[in-house]
Structure 1
Amino acid sequence: MSGTQRQAPSGNAPDSTAQPEAKTCQNCGSHVSRKFRRIFGDRENVAHRCYDCDSNTRLYRGSAAGKDVDRADPRNRDRQSDDYERDWRTGER
């Protein structure tokens, strides 16, 4: 042995160098895992939507990557569906 010690690698893990905002959903602020961001997020692994604020269908079509998708956005539910749910709960039409 030469007597020199091996130095620990400098720098942070790749995920810890990301902006803190990148670890949360850009829409609702919920925490999103690194795996979710890698699979569903955009090219910088940022999630624009998540399971807390969007439907599975929209996420699978790219909404988490910031793409516009052809499915109705759950946050823009129309007034008619709200009225139906209210009537369904009360039993009145």
Structure 2
Amino acid sequence: MREPRFRSRVVLWFVVGLVVVAGLAEGSARIAEAAGPPVLRWYDASTQLKVAQMDGIDRADVVFAGTSMAWQGLVPEVFTATDPEARSAYNAALAGGVPVV
């Protein structure tokens, strides 16, 4: 009669051990994630910054879109300063054009 009780104790300690190991693994993973660099929501840091900028602006009358050539070659402030209607502008071009723009 002692054998079923022994088995139930072994099973109980096994389950408790699994819970402890899972808890330690979860805690370790959370600590490692917090210590690492922030996770990118977009495919690279410059795109993530660009999306954050676009979320922060109220509106733009003219938006430049394209690849890195448009990103480096079109200056919204120069456009606004020389535009007869003084429209606001934003350069939403992406570095490298990935994904295809």
Pick the TM interval, shorter chain: 0.3 to 0.5
TM-score by length of 1: 0.35
Q: Normalized against structure 2, the TM-score is what? A: 0.33
More strand by share: 2
Larger helix fraction of residues: 2
Q: Which has the larger radius of gyration?
A: 2
Which of structures 1 and 2 has the larger relative contact order (alpha carbons within 8 angstroms, sep 6+)? 2
